[in-house]
Structure 1
Amino acid sequence: MKPAYRNLIRPAILAAIGLVVVSLFFFGFLRIYKIPTNGMSPTFIPDDYVFATKSGKKEADFKQMDIIVFSSPSNPKSRFIQRIAALPGDKVEVKNGHLSVNDQPIVSASGAKPAPGTDTKSDMTLPTYPLVVEPGKVFVIGDNYENSLDSRYFGTIEIDSITHTPKFIVLPFNRIRSFGSDDND
């Protein structure tokens, strides 16, 4: 006959694991973000749910083309998901109507056309080019250049405003995919 406490071990372990997972979400180490716009398509499309982990990266850990979650420059409670186009010290400029970083055109993750300059109809204070990304900042851009509110409009962002790193799409089921070292590490 088994002692009574042996019947409690498995439920106790499952409860502990559940408590740890809930705590990680509660304290912000893990997040799930719903994508509201086409700004990052085709990587993310509206109504994708993206699982992200808290970013513990330092300035030197980020690479060009990393996908990040950061606080909106105009509303710190809101979050944007975009791609790093330029790092501290990089030169960003508009050449022939398209953005370039260190004299190389910025081309979308899908290999589509080069990123255009800014829409002159914007009511935002646009950055002036050429610009050199300052220490502690990055220049970000959405994959869908024609439909992305990004650094072309609001300028560089503070690295300290980067909150999370997307790891995979969790919903819808037909779009589940992870972001490996080639995509985002």
Structure 2
Amino acid sequence: MESWNDMPQPEDEALSTETKSSQGLTAWLLDLLETILLAVVLFVGINLVSARIRVESISMEPTLIPGEFVIVNKLAYRFGEMHRGDVVVFYYPRDPSQRYIKRIIGLPGDEVTVSGGRVFINGEALNEPYLNAPPTYMGTWQVPQDGIFVLGDNRNRSADSHVWGMVPLDYIIGKAIFVYWPLDRFGPVPGHPSF
């Protein structure tokens, strides 16, 4: 039989409720802090390996159109090789505060020639079905070992390597891999399988 001293008193129940309430609040705050910390770690991690850009010009039409948002893989060339036909994002050599997006045409050591509406790499014509129209300009460029030659897919409406020269390798941000907006253009950035 319990004595009256063993029975919970109203003050004890109130203290017990306050303790449980305090523990519940502490657990909730710890969960919230953990969630915020996880979100920050994910945000920083994602931004270390990728970037997002908005296509601003018509220079890459019809492949990429103004207003599209593209995901860029910043590690693509740290662990893999560049290929002709890759669409890359880089710092504009004349103003590194600006980011440009173009297609790699010439790799280090290549000779790029534009003549008669065609592009030739080391004397071989490229098949370029993605072009709006053939280029109307002409020229020959030797790509240095520390650079790449890039052109926009909208050849006659693009300021690119044929205008301002090569892109230094250390100016490359990464490979454009995916269009995520608008939804009707959702999908991988088309490369060119014949390069």
Shorter-chain TM band? 0.7 to 0.9
Answering whether residue 168 of structure 2 is matched by residue 148 of structure 1, we say no
Are residues 17 and 151 of structure 1, via their aligned partners in 2, closer, same or farther at CA, if it must alter by over 3 Å? same
| Percent identical | 25
Structure with more helix by fraction: 2
Aligned to 1:37: 57
TM-score, scaled to structure 2: 0.72
1:104-123 aligned at under 5 Å gives the runs 104-108=124-128, 110=130, 113-117=133-137
1:11-160 aligned at under 5 Å gives the runs 14-24=35-45, 28-55=48-75, 57=77, 61-108=81-128, 110=130, 113-117=133-137, 129-160=139-170
Deviations 1:148-171 (A, max 9, x none): 111110111111110122121111
Q: How far apart, in 2, do the equivalents of 1:30 and 1:58 lie?
A: 12
Q: How far apart, in 1, do the equivalents of 2:79 and 2:177 lie?
A: 19
Deviations 1:121-150 (A, max 9, x none): xxxxxxxx4332110111000111121111
Partner SS, residue 153 of structure 1: helix
Are residues 103 and 59 of structure 1, via their aligned partners in 2, closer, same or farther at CA, if it must alter by over 3 Å? farther
Coordinate RMSD, CA, aligned:
3.1
Unaligned runs of 5+ in 2: 1-22
Aligned to 1:163: 173
Amino acid at match of 1:173: L
Aligned to 1:172: 182
Q: How far apart, in 2, do the equivalents of 1:106 and 1:180 lie?
A: 16
Deviations 1:52-109 (A, max 9, x none): 1324525981111111110001110100011100111111123225432122334435
Q: How far apart, in 2, do the equivalents of 1:8 and 1:172 lie?
A: 38
Structure number with larger C-alpha Rg: 2
Amino acid at match of 1:23: V
Are residues 111 and 151 of structure 1, via their aligned partners in 2, closer, same or farther at CA, if it must alter by over 3 Å? closer
Q: How far apart, in 1, do the equivalents of 2:181 and 2:154 lie?
A: 20
Q: How far apart, in 2, do the equivalents of 1:47 and 1:177 lie?
A: 15
Q: How far apart, in 1, do the equivalents of 2:69 and 2:91 lie?
A: 18
